[in-house]
Structure 1
């Protein structure tokens, strides 16, 4: 009996985006507590190309060939043993464990949420990593309504969602971005400041006494400025620079608790219009390499998505 196959993007060696290839891939089988999803859209995140390049090989070793991608949105196609909380045909979004750049992907039940009917597949696929990362970053900061938070890299996929979640929680948000993205940040209720050299001085023009907390979502060497502006290493988080810990700040990685609950909450906020997700560009699955190159350019406003699949 022949094993079922599906189309997927995979790489057999670490390297540039050129190592990505369309392949005929074995259909992944869901285990206990898992479901298989017919993928409608897959989000592209910087972690995808960092893994593909080999930069993460020491901390996230892969068995090659591997299918990239975590963010996924689609329709439940097959239930793993013991799964009763979902049914075949349910529309879901969340994080895949088998690689999401594929026609079919497997996900853990506790990393999925029901997709609101009003939410497009593309937006659903753009949300999981960005929203769960934002919640994971905010958890140790002890944020209180009325405080001011600085988000370095606020126009990017994670930064823009984090900024809106902070605004929804009653915080004043200052966000860094290149000047051509400042109007976009203002549209999100964020006070824009130019990133890069002179960051601390630029922030003090809009917050003379500094800020209460800061999140580095860019990984462009801003940590010393963020520490200066907060005056408290306990209230500085980096999502992109592991050297944060050598400076006394926190480097946040891994998965937050209650991913399903976070996705459900953020999905409801998006469906209600309280949070806007900008999908900067969509690509066919076969153009995953182009999506990686664009993501690596560092100049993307919002999220990149592979869709429809």
Structure 2
């Protein structure tokens, strides 16, 4: 019998949620994705010492540029061992500034171009704020495809689809965390609020003919992954990928199209109101931006100290 990882790959494109080159080479996902937190962990690995030094040398004292150079260098390495794309994130501190997000995204694409990596192999990760979604809409028009991250609410998903973004990353585990803490109980299987959120978004997209890819992210356990087998893509940590690789047993397709809601078109006021009404979505988006911003600052401090 094949492993659950191999069975999952029959229904879903598997993406590695890590900057660890060795783990990616071992587990052979199609795509990979990084963020400031993962890059900070990668910076502690001996393999990336030279990248850190080169990123600093070329940044002319600009810590933000050094971080972008490091992220692109790590991304280029990863692209050498995967057939698909790398997702590289814009500084989370720009999440409420459309023009600054556009400038940083274009810079990342330019840095990849300097490394000989075409934009067709890169997704620019942007937080799913109203301002971030507007930046992504413009980038898509320019032929720069995007991955809208820190997505917790249906309003974010609906707005992203109407903006024509290439891919969204709804955060299964962080939604689960919020409801577990708020309600003082655990959730398993199909009752998991994170699983329900991604399932609703997936069915909505399919029912309304959206081409935006749904990539479930931020998993806490194998059960969440198994419930979303059949989603367009799933981005999974190396530990959970290894557990899937080591586990035998049937893994049937769980997520199917059908039963999706009618299309919603959200203007800015409606989007902000729906976010305001969603305590979980509002709190987790703000928390996620803060956490990524702190890790960005730590990475900048590390690069400045070299």
Q: TM-score normalized by structure 2?
A: 0.31
Structure with more of its chain in strand, by fraction = 1
Q: Flag the structure with more relative contact order, 1 or 2, with Cα contacts below 8 A and sequence separation at least 6.
A: 2
Q: TM-score normalized by structure 1?
A: 0.31
